[in-house]
Amino acid sequence: MGEIGLNFFVNFMVAIALGILVGLEREFHAAKGKKESFAGIRTFTIVSIFGALVGYLGINYSYWIIVAGLICFSIFAIVFYVIDCQVSKRYGATTEIASIVVFVIGILCSAGQLRLAIIATIILTLFLSLKGPLHGFVKKLDKEDIYSTLKFAIIAFIILPFLPDKAYGPFNVLNPYKIWLIVVLISAISLVGYLAMKFIGAKKGMSITGFFGGFVSSTAVSMSMSQTSKTVTKIVNPFVFAMVIACSTMFFRVLVVVGILNRALLGKLLIPLLAMGITGAASAFVLWRKKENVSEKDKQLKIHSPFTIGPALKFALFFIIVLFIAKIGSVYLGSKGLYLTALLSGLADVDALTVSVTQLTNAGSVAADVGVTAIVIGVITNTLVKAGIANIFGSKEFKKKINVVFALIVLAGLISLLFI
């Protein structure tokens, strides 16, 4: 079999496998609901084969064959849907639309776009199988949730793309795109956290938001949780837990960056960063286990969406001020006074500081012990900034618990410096 023949055979087999996957889901869904379906495993397999053949003919002879095939099959699916509606009074067109998508997936396979075809099939099958949970999710939504989602869509997909990704102002600190991106991140985490809290409970919802949000931006999580703690005042531990677990991921993230760039430096950083990370994780675990004194009535309180643009804009202003301070220190101090530079840099960006110090130690410009101390100073400063966010934007009980936990984290970092 030649190379072209082998490629066609592989693509054809993939198309069949993807058709079978979607057909299995539809067959299972029909059997579970004890009703007849427009298409099952055999029909979807045939549809994918049909799409693959039409794609092959269109690519090798004329693309109009693909257009004609798609139009004809779409007409067939529509006609069947209309007839089925009249006979069975069933008005859902999900399976018919899915068959058209599978037809297109077959064409993609013939075109060699296997990755796109596989991704599309997985997403399609996932959405088909999640009918119950998705419908249940929609039923729990109210007008406030829809408005919050629309407002987020405006700031993320309408405003953000049109902002210039270019530095302006003194020291080239003002970058409209990056500053507004912070607003989008905070808003996204607030919205996701609110929906998670509403549908799976405050404790689990905030835990998931804090853990995964920490990999994106622990600072944005800190702002979001601080803001939410004022919106939902009857409970506090889930928000403290989310912020602590998100901030604790920073220490492990720094270790990963250093391990990639300079393994020799990693050995010296393990003690201080693990000490702070484990202290944070242990504190989060204690908060997870601790039960709050909340009445049954308060447990059933209505949770309102925390999505408001005002607090996010205030944080953006706060972020700009911090950037100015850090930039001034970097410009006037440079590599001199590394500890003071680390302190100022830690106000805004730990990752940039980590990379810079690691490169200096690689070049031999800075001793390893000095580099370790500078990075620890930076992460401690960044931790204190997040504590400041909690104190400025959080509720009274929230800031009190954050101050205790973050004091323990900072103390662990300072004591660990004695062992370097």
User: What is the C-alpha separation between 174 and 317, in angstroms, rounded?
Assistant: 11
Q: Give me the pLDDT at residue 309, please.
A: 65
Residues 6+ away with beta carbon under 8 Å from 150: none
Using DSSP's 3-state secondary structure scheme, residue 235 falls into coil
H or E element that contains 157: none
**Which residues, in sequence order, are bridge partners of residue 174?**
168
Q: Give me the pLDDT at residue 107, please.
A: 93
Tokens 């101050």 belong to 403
User: What is the C-alpha separation between 267 and 372, in angstroms, rounded?
Assistant: 10
Q: Give me the pLDDT at residue 139, please.
A: 72
* Per-residue pLDDT tens digits for 38-55: 567 888 899 999 999 999
What would you report as the CA-atom Rg of the chain, rounded to the nearest whole angstrom? 28
- Measured CA to CA in angstroms, residue 86 lies from 41, 43, 79, 89, 97 at distances of 24, 22, 11, 6, 18
Q: Give me the pLDDT at residue 297, please.
A: 39
Q: Give me the pLDDT at residue 39, please.
A: 62
Q: Average pLDDT of each block of 10 consecutive residues along the chain (420 residues)?
A: 65 91 82 61 89 91 90 88 74 80 93 91 87 69 74 84 84 79 73 66 66 72 83 79 87 84 83 92 83 46 53 68 63 64 75 72 75 87 90 90 92 84
φ/ψ of residue 150, rounded to 5: -65, -40
Q: Tell me which DSSP letter residue 98 carries.
A: H
| Whether 401 contacts 264, CB under 8 Å | no
Q: Tell me which DSSP letter residue 12 carries.
A: H
* One-character DSSP codes across 342-391: HHHHTTT-HHHHHHHHHHHHHTTSS-HHHHHHHHHHHHHHHHHHHHHHHH
Q: What's the pTM?
A: 0.58
b (16+ CB within 10 A) / e for 344-362: bbbbbbbeebbebbbebbe
Q: What share of the chain is helix, strand, coil (3-state, %, to 5)?
A: 85, 0, 15
User: What is the C-alpha separation between 229 and 206, in angstroms, rounded?
Assistant: 11
Q: Tell me which DSSP letter residue 337 carries.
A: S
User: What is the C-alpha separation between 222 and 244, in angstroms, rounded?
Assistant: 8
> What are the residue ranges spanned by the domains of the chain?
3-136, 141-419
* Per-residue pLDDT tens digits for 283-334: 888 877 776 554 433 343 444 455 566 666 766 776 677 667 656 655 666 5
* One-character DSSP codes across 197-252: HHHH-HHHHHHHHHHHHHHHHHHHHHHHHHHHHHHS-S--HHHHHHHHHHHHHHHH
User: What is the C-alpha separation between 192 and 212, in angstroms, rounded?
Assistant: 11
* Per-residue pLDDT tens digits for 130-180: 776 766 666 767 777 777 778 778 888 888 889 998 888 776 768 888 778
- Measured CA to CA in angstroms, residue 336 lies from 232, 312, 342, 355 at distances of 46, 35, 11, 17
Q: Give me the pLDDT at residue 296, please.
A: 39
Q: Give me the pLDDT at residue 300, please.
A: 38
User: What is the C-alpha separation between 290 and 405, in angstroms, rounded?
Assistant: 14
- Measured CA to CA in angstroms, residue 248 lies from 58, 379, 382 at distances of 55, 10, 11
Q: Give me the pLDDT at residue 298, please.
A: 38
φ/ψ of residue 348, rounded to 5: -120, -45
Rounded to 10 degrees, what is the CA torsion of 414, 262, 385, 339?
60
| Whether 176 contacts 164, CB under 8 Å | yes
Rounded to whole angstroms, the maximal C-alpha distance in the chain is 82
Report the Cα 29 to chain-centroid distance in Å: 30
